[in-house]
Each structure stands twice: as structure tokens, then as C-alpha cells.
Amino acid sequence: MMIEFPPGWIIIIGALLIPITQGLLRQAVLVALPVLALTLIWTLPDNALWQTSFLEYTLSPLDFSTVGKLFATIFSLMVLVGGIYAMRTASTLELSAAFLYAGSAIGVTSSGDLISVFIYWELMAIGSTAVIWAGATSSAYKASMRYLFMHLFGGVILMAGILWHIHETGSTEFTALELAGPAQWLILIGFLVNAGAPPFSAWIADAYPEASPSGSVFLSAFTTKTAVFTLLIAFPGTSVLIPIGCFMIFYGIIYALLENDARRILSYSIVNQVGFMITGIGIGTEMALNGAAAHAFAHIVYKALLLMTAGAVLYRTGKRRCSDLGGLFHSMPITTLYGIIGALAISSFPFTSGFVSKSMISSSAAYEHITWVWFLLAAASAGVFLHAGVKYPWFVFFQKDSGLRPEESPKNMQFAMFIFAFLCIALGVFPQPLYDLLPYPVDYEPYTADHLVTQFQLLLFAGLAFFLLLPMMKRTETISLDFDWFYRKLGTKLVTGFGRKVYAVYAKQEQAFVNTLKSLVTHVYDTHKNKPKGSVARMWPIETMVFWVAILLCGYLIVYYI
């Protein structure tokens, strides 16, 4: 009989076991615990429920929904494959932090109340910050602090919204919410901060590339997709999400096209792909919500695969700028092959996982006659092929020969990449197993003639445009200014300038106080030193003192007899 136990706790226990294990035992922990969590997720009965009391509220740390099981499944699979990829190169700190991070994300998917969601939410922030910190460079530490600041900011907003909502309704249930007032808006904003929605998108490209080769793989999977999950549960059909998602799509495309750093290209691509999911959630039909959930599943697989290839290149060459790379297919053919598969999947190339998931979102826009959204999604599909489908593999593995001849990636990295490359193709060719996991019944056929023709036209013309404009897309040493400039540069200058002004006022007041105190001390000293100047301290004759004492006694006697 299977114990009804939150699966995320198994992974969190792994975070505690990793520091006290090493060698083969640690590798066994990295593989066995995610497998155990996956087994538990799919052997729990549909009505599994575990509740406990906190103050006067009921918490539900185990209350799976259908969409929760879907996300918990891909999160567990991600930590399994990510652990295989990282087991020989990642530090103890990184592996332990990654398991805390992943276990907390799974905890969110199994939670039935807002308080539990918030607790796991903050544990995710701690774990992911430590993953970035484990990059063990000065830039990684600075990026981790900016990342932590942003997520603490989002956490405060979320906490305020949850407390306000509980005060208004008396309910902690994590279910669909209406934007009826400030409380629900605060919850929505808190979720969107983690999703990388504008204007809080820059933290992804700022922080993720500074992690280690394996750290960025873990980071790509959990924070933004957990936010997508919470939006799916709490705000399906919220129309304001449609323009937000569309903005994210083109924001990610534009910045990825401008970028020279290979891992920053893929980080901006995360924003772009999450934008598709948020647009689907905003449309809110069953097909759109199915598409958002399916695309989140597929995205975790192919985005991790792409970052694994970029991480393998960084691990072997120590370089991550496109202008420093090229010609790596000569000595890293297996990594190149996996990079191409991931690039095709993210571009929604037919017979890959992206094709069978992303098309559900654009089709739902067409069915609901939201024409402008359909046109934007079609144009975005071409943009994705430009920056991730062609630009990334071309500049990293092909283009000019950089003269680099590194060794092929390590065997454990190759095996992890093989698993996800296989899934990219298998889910594209046989999408039904994925469709069976979705929250609503699926009545959708991706492989129709018009869909195939339309997609091939978009991709081929986008590819043609890339190579025709290739001279204009030559990589140079550039810096992309993003919203983080306001708190990395302008904010720093404002705080520093304000601090200097405050210090100047403080120093002036301090000096005035010191001068006053010195004057007082000097006056007291002059009054009481050996030759006092004050009239009170002068030596009076004895007869004068006797005279005044006699007067005081006489006055006392008169008052007494009266």
C-alpha cells in the first residue's frame, strides 16, 4: 500500500543527503530519489489528500490536480536527467541547492492551499539563488544577489496579496480566482514576477547565464514554469494575460537576436516561450489551456537540451560568446546533433515536440476569432526559428572556423542529452501520450495538411531571411541594455548619491553637536577650575557666609511663627 506522501519532500530529503554522500552512493541518490518521486506521483490515488492545521487554517500540502500531476512529472524527470548531466561536474552546493529548488517546485504543484504555495515559493527562491551562487565567480555572486532581491520583492507582493485575500474571503484554497480587487491583483503580479513578465523580465538573462554549465540547466526548468502552473490554476481566461504574453514573446525574440552570448540567447528565449504559455492561459479555452500545459512540458525538455549543449561547449572550451565560437561540429559532432534537435523542437518543426504543443495555442486563438493574436503568434514562430532554430546552432557549431578543437562532451552529459533529444522527437511523432496527461480531453490533430504547409512556409522563409541577412547579423562585442539597467546602474547611482547627501547632512549636524558639546564642556571647566571665572565659583569670605546663613534662619523662624 503506497503511503500518501508529498512527492516533493522526497527530493528535498535528497538535498539533505547529498552533502553526506559521495562517489557511487551520491550518484545513486541523484538517480533513485527522482525515480521514487515519479513512482509516487503516478501511484497516488486520484483522491489522495493530506491536510494539517496551522493556526486556524487548514493546509493541504498534498492535493494533486490533473495539471499538477503533469507539472510534477516533468519536474521530477527534469531533476533526474539534470542530475545525470551534473553528477560529475557540479559542486555539492549546486546539487544540494538544485534538489531543494526542484523539490519545492514539485511541492507547489501538489499544494491545495495558498499558504503552502507561498512557503514552497520562498524555498524555491533560496534554492535557485544558491544554484547561481554555486557558479563560484564574482559575476555569479553579484547576479545571485540581484536575483534574490527580485524574487524577495515578488515574494513580498505575493504574500501581501495572499494575506489580503485570506482576510477578505476567509479561504486559503488554491483555486481559480477572479480579479475582484487589489488582493487578487497582488497575487497575479507576484506570479508574473516569477514568470519573467514585463517589466521584470531581465532577471532571467541576467542570472541564468552566470550559473555553472549544469546550474543553468536546472534554472531553466522550475521558476518560470512553476509560475505558469500557478497562473493555470488561479487565473485561467484572464484576458489581461494575452497582451502580457504577446509582449513577452517579441521582447524575447528581439533581445535574443541582438545578443552575442550563447547562453543569454537561450535565456531570452525562455521569456519568449513562456510568453506563448501565458497567452494561452489568457485565451482560457480548454484547447488553449491544454496547449499552455503541453507547451510547458515540451519547453522544459527542449530548453534543457539546448542549455545542456551550450553548457557542454562552455565546459570544454571555457567560451560562451558566439563571436568566439564556430566550427565545433568538427570535434563535438554528438553535441552538435543534439543542439540541432533542440533547435528544431523550439522552432516547432514538424515531428518535434514543439510542433504538437505550440500549435494548440495558435489554433485556439484562431478558433476564438482573436485574429490579431493568431497573426502575432505566426510571426513569432518565424522569429523563434531565427534566433533559436538557426542563429544559436549556426554561430556556435558552424559559421567560421574558430580553430577550437575541444573534446566531445563527457559521457554522462551525452546520456542526459540523448534522453531529452529522444523525447523531443518521440513526443513530436507520437503526441498522444502527452495529450493524455493534459487537464482536458484533447480533440486536436496537429498533422493536418494546412498546418504542415503553413509551418513549413514560415520556417523556410525565416531560414532564407536569416542567411540573406547573415552579413548584417555578424556577431560583435555588444552590451544589451535592458530594464535591469534601472536597478543595476541608475538605481545604484541614485542610492549612492542619496547616501552621500544624507551623510553630508549627518556630518554637518554631527559637527554642530560636537561644537556645542565642546562649548558646554569648556564653560563648565572654566567655571570649576582652580581659578574660576564664574561669579558662583569665586571664594567668598566666611563672615559673608555667616551673614547670609543668619538671614535665612531668621526668615525661617518668622515663617514658622506666622
d(CA 157, CA 151): 10
Residue 242: pLDDT above 90? yes
Compute the mean pLDDT over every residue in the chain, rounded to the nearest whole number: 87
332 contact partners, CB below 8 Å, separation of at least 6: 312, 313, 316, 397, 406, 407, 408, 409
- pLDDT tens, residue by residue, 283-335: 999 999 999 999 999 999 999 999 999 999 999 998 888 888 888 888 899 99
Q: What is the pLDDT of residue 93?
A: 94
Q: What is the pLDDT of residue 529?
A: 55
Q: What is the pLDDT of residue 483?
A: 73
Residue with more model confidence, 556 or 99: 99
Contact indicator for 346, 269 with CB cutoff of 8 Å: yes
Residue 524: pLDDT above 80? no
**Helix/strand/coil for 223:** helix
Strands 57-62 and 50-54: antiparallel
All three cell numbers of 277? 504559455
Residue with more model confidence, 537 or 452: 452
Annotated domain spans of the chain: 236-477, 489-561
Rounded to the nearest 5 degrees, what angle is found at the Cα of 274, between the Cα atoms of 269 and 277? 140
- pLDDT tens, residue by residue, 423-469: 999 999 999 999 999 999 988 888 888 888 888 888 888 778 777 77
How many other C-beta atoms lie within 10 A of the C-beta of residue 411?
Answer: 9
Q: What is the pLDDT of residue 433?
A: 92
Residue type, 452: L
Rounded to the nearest 5 degrees, what angle is found at the Cα of 82, between the Cα atoms of 78 and 88? 165
Residue 365: pLDDT above 70? yes
Residue 381: pLDDT above 70? yes
Q: What is the pLDDT of residue 34?
A: 95
Residue 535: pLDDT above 60? no
Q: What is the pLDDT of residue 1?
A: 39
Helix (H) or strand (E) holding 21: none
Lowest mean pLDDT among 120-124, 301-305, 539-543: 539-543
**Helix/strand/coil for 331:** coil
Residues recorded for the chain? 562
User: For residue 254, with 0-12 CB atoms within 10 Å meaning exposed, 13-18 middle and 19 or more buried, which class applies?
Assistant: middle
Contact indicator for 303, 266 with CB cutoff of 8 Å: yes
Q: What is the pLDDT of residue 526?
A: 66
In this structure, what are the phi and psi dihedrals at residue 443, rounded to the nearest 5 degrees? -120, 75
Q: What is the pLDDT of residue 540?
A: 55
Contact indicator for 434, 356 with CB cutoff of 8 Å: yes
Residue 47: pLDDT above 80? no
In this structure, what are the phi and psi dihedrals at residue 212, rounded to the nearest 5 degrees? -70, 170
Q: What is the pLDDT of residue 528?
A: 55
DSSP assignment letter at 261: B
Name the nearest CA neighbour of 316 among 383, 409, 231: 409
**Helix/strand/coil for 173:** strand
* pLDDT range class, residue 2, cuts 50, 70, 90: very low
- pLDDT tens, residue by residue, 345-362: 998 889 999 999 988 998
Q: What is the pLDDT of residue 533?
A: 52
How many other C-beta atoms lie within 10 A of the C-beta of residue 516?
Answer: 10
Q: Is the peptide bond before 199 cis (omega within 30 degrees of 0)?
A: yes
**Helix/strand/coil for 549:** helix
Residue type, 294: A
Residue 258: pLDDT above 90? no
pTM: 0.85
Instruction: Give, in order, the Cα–Cα distances in Å from 484 to each of 147, 216, 251.
Output: 11, 19, 14
Instruction: Give, in order, the Cα–Cα distances in Å from 53 to each of 50, 116, 171, 234, 292.
Output: 11, 11, 13, 23, 34
d(CA 90, CA 311): 12
**Helix/strand/coil for 137:** coil
**Helix/strand/coil for 342:** helix
All three cell numbers of 440? 482536458
Residue with more model confidence, 15 or 46: 15
DSSP assignment letter at 227: H
Lowest mean pLDDT among 23-27, 29-33, 58-62: 58-62
User: For residue 285, with 0-12 CB atoms within 10 Å meaning exposed, 13-18 middle and 19 or more buried, which class applies?
Assistant: middle
HEC string for 45-113:
CCCCCEEEEECCEEEEEECCCHHHHHHHHHHHHHHHHHHHHHCCCCCHHHHHHHHHHHHHHHHHHCCCE
d(CA 340, CA 460): 16
Residue 38: pLDDT above 80? yes
Residue 486: pLDDT above 90? no
Mean pLDDT, residues 374-396: 84
In this structure, what are the phi and psi dihedrals at residue 180, rounded to the nearest 5 degrees? -90, -15
* pLDDT range class, residue 538, cuts 50, 70, 90: low
